[in-house]
Each structure stands twice: as structure tokens, then as C-alpha cells.
Homo-oligomer: A and B are copies of this chain.
């Protein structure tokens, strides 16, 4: 999936269902695609305002929903600060260990895990587009402190 095609994909998706490609949607699409990796609605909105562009929070939320529907972005997870989205052009990994004591987040990548997931998907006839593994527990430091 090439970045330059985002606009085309979105445009086609909209036309197909009689929706309109407005200035606001264009701005939001653009900012969304230029995010490398994760983002949330509020910071996207602020980014738009800082850039002197125009789009209300309501339009940001509404447009993000459509972008999800057409597969250009995905809702990755919910946090206390809101929903985290992911631009599907960024091929990031979301595997991490979260310390439930100190909140420390240890990100990691495992080729073996990737392979395993592919195998699991194939078994279910599932076409994976992204994933997110969270292992909760105690990090090295907090393990020591515990006793």
C-alpha cells in the first residue's frame, strides 16, 4: 500500500457510496497519512489547527470513522486518554510488556511471534492486518522491590 494512493483509495471509497470529498476530509486524510505510526483524535485536531487548517473536532471524529471503514487506518486500542489509531502505512509493531506496578512499557519485536501469528491466522482463514500483544506483569526493577 503506497502512501500516494491514500487519496485515491479514499476518493474512490467516498464516490462509491455517494459521499463527498470535502476540504475538511482532505485535510484530515492528509494529516492522518503523514502521521508515522500512532495518533489520537485530539492531537490530530490540534495539529490541524496549528497548521492553520480548518476542521472541527466533530469532523475529525466523523472522518476517522470513515477512514477506518475504508481500511486506511485502524483503531488500535483504547486508553485513559482516548482511542489510539494507526495509519496503515506505518508498519509498526505493537508488542510490549506493561509493568502493572510502575507503568513502564517495554516494547519488543519477535520474528518468531510474527511467524506464529501468521500461522494462526491461516488456520482460521483470517486475513490479519495488524496486531497488538500486551503482556502485563512486573518489570525487573519492581520484581526486586516487591520483596
**Structural contact, A131 and B129, CB atoms closer than 8 A:** no
**Structural contact, B129 and A74, CB atoms closer than 8 A:** no
Residue of B nearest to A141 (CB): B125
**A128 lies within 8 A of chain B by Cβ:** yes
**A120 lies within 8 A of chain B by Cβ:** yes
Cα A99 to Cα B78 with chains together (Å): 17
In residues 111-133 of chain A, which contact B (Cβ within 8 Å)?
112-113, 116-117, 120-121, 124-133
The smallest C-beta distance from A73 to any residue of chain B, in angstroms, reads: 10
Cα A140 to Cα B77 with chains together (Å): 23
Cα A125 to Cα B140 with chains together (Å): 5
**Structural contact, A130 and B124, CB atoms closer than 8 A:** no
**With A77-B78, A113-B116: A125-B137 Cβ-Cβ less than 8 Å:** no
**A22 lies within 8 A of chain B by Cβ:** no
Most B CB contacts (10 A, CB to CB) among A74, A97, A130 go to A97
With a CB–CB cut-off of 8 A, which chain B residues contact A113? 113, 116, 120
**A100 lies within 8 A of chain B by Cβ:** yes
New contact pairs (12) apart from A77-B78, A129-B136, CB-CB < 8 Å: A71-B100, A76-B136, A97-B121, A97-B126, A112-B116, A126-B137, A127-B137, A127-B138, A128-B135, A130-B136, A132-B133, A133-B133
